[in-house]
Amino acid sequence: MDTPAVPMPKDEQERQILDRLTVIRDKLLLLKRDRTKYIRSQDVMVLYDQLVDQVKQLNEIRKGEHKGENRLDRVLESCLQLISLFFMTIGRTNDVPAAYALTSTIKRLLDHLTEARLFSPKDLDSISNTLGKLDGILKNADSAHSPYLVELLAHREALCKSMLANLRKQLDQLDEPLQATYERLISIMRSMSLANTKSKFSVNEVQKFIAKLKEIEGSMVDGKFVDAEGKELRGSDVVSELLKRCLMWSNIVIERKGEIPEAFQDKYNILINIRNELEKLSITQAWSLRETDLYDFQRELDKIDESRVDGNWLDQDGKPAELYVQRTLLYLIRRSYGYIYYLMNSSEPVSEALLPIYNQLQTLKRCLIEVKNSGGVSSVRELYPYSMKLNSIDNMRVDGKFMVGDDIPEGQGSVTELLAECFDLNYELRVAAEESEGSGKESGKDSGKQSGTESPAPQGTA
């Protein structure tokens, strides 16, 4: 976005739009960096309306014709990316703008899967499901959103679906028994790459993966994968080639032991830090993630990814990185994009202002389900802590709404629905406990009656 290599627009009207978009982008960045208060919907919508107005003007100027990328396109991309993440942050995850950042990440993932030729059915299934959700969002788009944005996202989605279909064709070339072997090899390759980027390299860990590769190699007959009748399976050559790649990579990893040449150490350190930070967020995201923070990670990753020349990085002397360095850096980039995709996909339809309440209710729900699955409670008294917490959250509502100051944050329906689910679970457990206590008292009375009316045994008998 800031590189001089991207030319300024030649058209005077485009220059004016660029100036206005730059102001919008800077306002979005300032809003993103302000951690003193939560992000309000009204603040985001003002900037969104301004952005849509500039997009409309740009569309009218270009009239569908675009002669090469310029600085305006880069700034517009940043604005759209930021506004998309803001929509996630305020809980409007099912609105059209929220889909923009997700399609960007999906496109990156598909580009890398296509380039690496290393992917499993699970990778494709996850992306397919997400594209299905985005399809629903676009079909339900209302007139409040820019037709240009809807059209842009529809085009992006169609492109992603086309790329996905091409990747599926490659997997369809494998007979079913080989698909499991192929997926296992992908898992081993990624596990070795993970071991290669740990702070402390473990030879023993990599040796275990090599043993698994040898086991798969041992199942081959004359260098081919065959069925029970000895007939070569369809796709045997593809899986054989992947096995060779895995074995070669394992030898390189063992030889290099995680050591990166000084010329690429800076890039490696940046990518390791990004990967580690995103990994932490993936564990604590319910409590610590503000979706707009992902923008900085994305921008840094994009910058490093796009600095490649013919798919590889160059050192200060213009020499390309050796295979070991190239694969290690690419693994870290792809892993990081994968975390960003997961975090965006996990974004809850709740404003960050309501997330503390929402997360508490999520925890309460999990606890109540766990109690129910483990046989319930023996007395109503055991439910008091849950009941008190639920009532305290319920009492926070004002006229049925959760307020923050004078604001009504997005996500009221999701929080209220979750609160109702917790109350229902608590009620079920209470009823079951009362019935259990009641039946216990009845059985106690019955046994008392029986002991009081029992005829004494005749004397002289034992």
DSSP track, 410-458? S-HHHHHHHHHHHHHHHHHHHHHHHHHHHHHHHHHHHHHHHHHHPPPPP
pLDDT score at 9? 85
151 in the same domain as 195:
no
CA torsion, ordered 19, 22, 28, 29, to nearest 10 deg: -150
- The answer to whether 8 and 48 are in contact (CB under 8 A) is no
Identify the domain containing residue 245 by its residue range: 176-256
pLDDT band at residue 442 using 50, 70 and 90 as cut-offs: low
pLDDT score at 449? 52
> What token pair was written down for 168?
């599926």
- Checking if the pLDDT of 6 tops 90, the result is no
In a domain, 447, yes or no: no
* Per-residue pLDDT tens over the stretch 400-435: 999 988 889 999 999 999 999 999 999 999 999 988
pLDDT band at residue 35 using 50, 70 and 90 as cut-offs: confident
- Checking if the pLDDT of 453 tops 50, the result is no
Tell me which of 256, 290, 321 is where a domain ends: 256
pLDDT score at 462? 28
* Per-residue pLDDT tens over the stretch 92-147: 999 999 999 999 999 999 999 999 988 999 999 999 999 999 999 998 877 667 78
**Nearest to residue 108, comparing CAs of 292, 303, 323, 322?**
303
Tell me which of 156, 172, 188 is where a domain ends: 172
- Checking if the pLDDT of 2 tops 70, the result is no
51 in the same domain as 31:
yes
- Checking if the pLDDT of 446 tops 60, the result is no
* Per-residue pLDDT tens over the stretch 211-223: 999 999 999 999 8
Buried residues in 54-67 as b, exposed as e (16+ CB within 10 A): bbeebeeeeeeeee
Span 243-266, average pLDDT: 95
Residues 6+ apart with CB under 8 A from 17: 54, 57, 58, 61, 72
Residues 6+ apart with CB under 8 A from 206: 192, 195, 196, 250, 253, 254
In a domain, 190, yes or no: yes
75 in the same domain as 2:
yes
Q: Which residue has the tokens 């199942």?
A: 219
Over pLDDT 90: what percentage of the chain?
76
pLDDT score at 1? 42
> What token pair was written down for 176?
């079913």
pLDDT band at residue 284 using 50, 70 and 90 as cut-offs: confident
End-to-end CA distance of the chain: 101
In a domain, 43, yes or no: yes
In a domain, 33, yes or no: yes
- Checking if the pLDDT of 452 tops 60, the result is no
pLDDT score at 441? 61
pLDDT score at 404? 87
pLDDT score at 455? 40
pLDDT score at 174? 92
**Residue 242 corresponds to which amino acid?**
L
* Per-residue pLDDT tens over the stretch 182-202: 999 999 999 999 999 999 999
102 in the same domain as 71:
no
- Give the number of C-alpha atoms closer than 13 A to the C-alpha of residue 378, restricted to the C-beta side: 1
110 in the same domain as 55:
no
**Nearest to residue 123, comparing CAs of 156, 172, 164?**
164
432 in the same domain as 416:
yes
In a domain, 327, yes or no: no
- Checking if the pLDDT of 204 tops 90, the result is yes
168 in the same domain as 99:
yes
In a domain, 321, yes or no: no
414 in the same domain as 359:
yes
Q: What's the domain count of the chain?
A: 4
Tell me which of 153, 172, 191 is where a domain ends: 172
pLDDT score at 59? 87
107 in the same domain as 88:
no
- The answer to whether 358 and 402 are in contact (CB under 8 A) is no
365 in the same domain as 417:
yes
Average pLDDT, the chain: 90
pTM: 0.88
83 in the same domain as 2:
yes
Span 6-29, average pLDDT: 92
**Nearest to residue 383, comparing CAs of 432, 442, 334, 320?**
432
* Per-residue pLDDT tens over the stretch 285-339: 767 788 999 999 999 999 999 999 999 999 999 999 999 999 999 999 999 999 9
- Checking if the pLDDT of 26 tops 60, the result is yes
88 in the same domain as 104:
no
Residues 6+ apart with CB under 8 A from 71: 1, 6, 7, 8, 9, 18
- Checking if the pLDDT of 228 tops 50, the result is yes
In a domain, 347, yes or no: no
Span 34-61, average pLDDT: 92
* Per-residue pLDDT tens over the stretch 160-182: 999 999 999 999 999 988 999 99
